[in-house]
Amino acid sequence: MYLLIPAAGIGTRMGSDRNKLLLKVLAQPIIAWTLLAAQAAREIDWIGIISQPSDWPDLKAILADLNLTKPVELIAGGATRQESVYNGLQALPAAAEQVLIHDGARCLATPDLLNACATAIRDCPGLIAAVAVKDTIKVVDENGIIQSTPDRRQLWAAQTPQGFNVKLLKQCHAEGVRQNWQVTDDAALFEKCGIEVRIVQGEETNLKVTTPQDLAIAEFILNSRTSRHLPTHS
């Protein structure tokens, strides 16, 4: 399975003056944890990191430290996530029939989740990892007035990985360029084109590291995982 990792953003909400994925959690850059999960996922065979060329020296240094056994290609990103994924699709090897797209900032996704999505995408045109919403959601207008309360039984919080048939996703991106659609994830392009997208059960811990508070939560989760795998002594 081919994996594209959009990693071209700047950490505005993180208050960082550089790519937030280069910030460290437990002495490893955020992007390193994402790459380690991809390395450990048995279904992933190839990794493409979509980033700004100005970050390539840092990314090459990280890759050298990780010493991954799977091929990794650096791909120039665009001005938006949508443009970056479009660039990534063009850089896929010709043999790629399905692709997973996983945000580099979701550094807590486990190899099991990557494997589950890689397996499921072979039997459907598109999918996203997602978790059922637990909170009551309100639809609010521009004045802060509640307009409605949707039934949360039908609401899911979208995550990544998202998986797609490569040929269909390229067609949807091309249509998005033609019609000037602006979307925040690739599943929305499928939806606009009337193509079915399936839900795969995500992980509650698969948060997107966006703010300094998220960094602290990510550190706590990674610490918990590490402690569970430490040997015990009598």
Distance CA 114, CA 191 (A): 22
Residue 231 has pLDDT above 50, yes or no: no
Residue 124 has pLDDT above 50, yes or no: yes
pLDDT of residue 202: 98
Residue 82 has pLDDT above 60, yes or no: yes
pLDDT of residue 18: 72
| Angle, in degrees to the nearest 10, between helices 30-40 and 111-120 | 60
Mean pLDDT to the nearest integer, 68-97: 96
18 vs 110, more confident: 110
Question: Which of 97, 100, 123 has the alpha carbon at shortest distance from 113?
Answer: 100
Average pLDDT across the chain, whole number: 93
What is the Cβ-side half-sphere exposure of residue 25, based on CA atoms within 13 angstroms? 27
Burial letters 124-151, b for 16+ CB under 10 A, else e: bbbbbbbbeeeeeeeeeeeeeeeeeeee
Please spell the DSSP secondary structure of 44-97, one letter per residue.
--EEEEEE-GGGHHHHHHHHHHHT-SS-EEEEE--SSHHHHHHHHHHTS-TT-S
pLDDT of residue 234: 37
Which domains does the chain carry?
Answer: 2-228 (3.90.550.10)
Q: pLDDT per residue over 2-12, tens digit each?
A: 999 999 866 55
pLDDT of residue 13: 53
Whether the CA torsion 19, 86, 125, 46 is positive or negative: it is: negative
- Report field, pTM of the whole predicted structure over 0.85: yes
Mean pLDDT to the nearest integer, 48-72: 96
Residue 84 has pLDDT above 60, yes or no: yes
pLDDT of residue 232: 40
Residue 79 backbone phi and psi in degrees, to 5: -75, -20
Q: In this prediction, what percent of the chain has a pLDDT beyond 70?
A: 93
Strand spans (E) along 78-225: 98-101, 126-132, 139-140, 146-148, 156-165, 198-201
